[in-house]
């Protein structure tokens, strides 16, 4: 079943590192069922990340508020200081400057303006969201749902280790977020997202028009060190609009903070009455058919 038109979404993203954030934002802007209320960026060079987001918003003709957020994790060292793909920003019209130091306040104000209506979609390390939930503990109760591209929850896919980049990017913020009492607290983890990928050759063929054209320019930076795109973040977003793409199970997620070698690891325990909804499987063909529907 697809969601109703006008799904109010706030996007928190580290666009500019892995290419899938830009692929996700293009999808949200192209999807007429998405009412994108705003974008916050996170990790190093947050302003450059905001500029990348503005490229897509400008091309889409949408006035979406964009706020650079936290560049430094709560306690650990920053592992993602640079927004490498921002070197391609100059090829496209974009906003140069943004209100700084206001990202968390913007998230708070927007969620409070639409109690019970906003989906918070996070596709980067969780520093902004950890700060938000600590500053205003009522916010989790005011969300419609929280959807994360975060964590690893099963060992069903060979080659996927126990650690996932967003979860370990700010493990203490991750722990704060997983302890938050959101009514629908959904995670799409690396073990599932790794099953939706395209080779560079296919991306170059498909990303030729509209909002995907600047994404391809960003992707050419990504392809200097990779030969595929894995659609981690777009998959998380797509579950908001087609609930048949992934299968889910409820349970309990706990975040490792004791073992220094596994800090940020997500421990998953299935529980019928657990507080966390975790993706366990994906229909890859259905996902790609759904995604490219919006790009003609």
Q: Which residue has the tokens 């998953």?
A: 268
Q: Which two tokens stand for residue 57?
A: 């918003």
Tally of domains within the chain: 1
Is the CB of residue 222 less than 8 Å from the CB of residue 15? no
Asked if the model's pLDDT at residue 208 lies above 90, the reply is: yes
Q: Write out the DSSP string of 100-157.
A: -S-HHHHHHHHHHHSTTT-EEEE-S-SHHHHHHHHH-TTHHHH-SEEEEE-------S
Give the number of other CB atoms < 10 A from CB of residue 35.
16
Q: Is 190 helix (H, G, I), strand (E, B) or coil?
A: helix
In a domain, 1, yes or no: no
Residue 93's domain comprises 7-295
Q: Which residue has the tokens 């975790």?
A: 278
Counting Cβ atoms within 10 Å, is residue 110 exposed (0-12), middle (13-18) or buried (19+)?
A: middle
In a domain, 174, yes or no: yes
When comparing pLDDT for 5 and 125, which is higher?
Answer: 125
List the CATH number of the domain containing 139: 3.90.245.10
pLDDT in tens, 65-76: 999 999 999 999
In a domain, 2, yes or no: no
Q: For residue 5, what pLDDT is reported?
A: 56
At 161, is the pLDDT very low, low, confident or very high (cuts 50, 70, 90)?
A: confident
pLDDT in tens, 171-193: 999 999 999 999 999 999 999 99
Q: Mean pLDDT for the chain? A: 95
Q: For residue 1, what pLDDT is reported?
A: 35
Nearest by Cα to 96 from 48, 61, 29:
48
Section 258-269 average pLDDT? 94
Q: For residue 154, what pLDDT is reported?
A: 85
Q: Which two tokens stand for residue 177?
A: 């977020």
Q: Which residue has the tokens 């799904």?
A: 7
In a domain, 243, yes or no: yes
Give the number of other CB atoms < 10 A from CB of residue 62.
11
């Amino acid at each position: 079943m697809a969601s109703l038109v006008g799904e109010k979404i706030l996007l928190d993203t580290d666009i500019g590192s892995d290419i899938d954030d830009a692929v996700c934002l293009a999808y949200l802007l192209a999807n007429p069922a998405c009412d994108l209320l705003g974008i916050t960026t996170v990790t190093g060079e947050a302003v450059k990340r905001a500029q990348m987001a503005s490229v897509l918003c400008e091309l889409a003709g949408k006035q979406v508020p964009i706020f650079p957020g936290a560049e430094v994790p709560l306690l650990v060292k920053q592992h993602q200081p640079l927004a490498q793909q921002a070197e391609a920003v100059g090829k496209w019209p974009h906003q140069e400057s943004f209100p700084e130091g206001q990202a968390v306040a913007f998230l708070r104000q927007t969620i409070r303006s639409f109690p019970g209506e906003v989906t918070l979609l996070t596709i980067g390390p969780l520093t902004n969201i950890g700060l938000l939930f600590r500053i205003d503990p009522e916010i989790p109760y005011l969300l419609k749902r929280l959807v994360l591209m975060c964590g690893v929850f099963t060992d069903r896919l060979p080659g996927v280790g126990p650690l996932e980049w967003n979860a370990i990017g700010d493990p203490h913020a991750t722990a704060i977020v997983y302890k938050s009492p959101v009514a629908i607290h959904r995670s799409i983890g690396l073990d599932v997202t790794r099953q939706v990928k395209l080779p560079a050759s296919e991306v170059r063929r498909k990303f030729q028009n509209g909002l995907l054209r600047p994404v391809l320019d960003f992707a050419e930076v990504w392809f200097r060190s990779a030969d595929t795109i894995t659609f981690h973040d777009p998959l998380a977003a797509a579950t908001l609009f087609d609930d048949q793409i992934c299968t889910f199970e409820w349970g309990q997620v706990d975040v490792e903070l004791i073992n220094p070698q596994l800090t940020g690891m997500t421990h998953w325990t299935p529980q019928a009455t657990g507080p966390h909804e975790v993706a366990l499987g994906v229909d890859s063909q259905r996902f790609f058919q759904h995604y490219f529907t919006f790009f003609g």
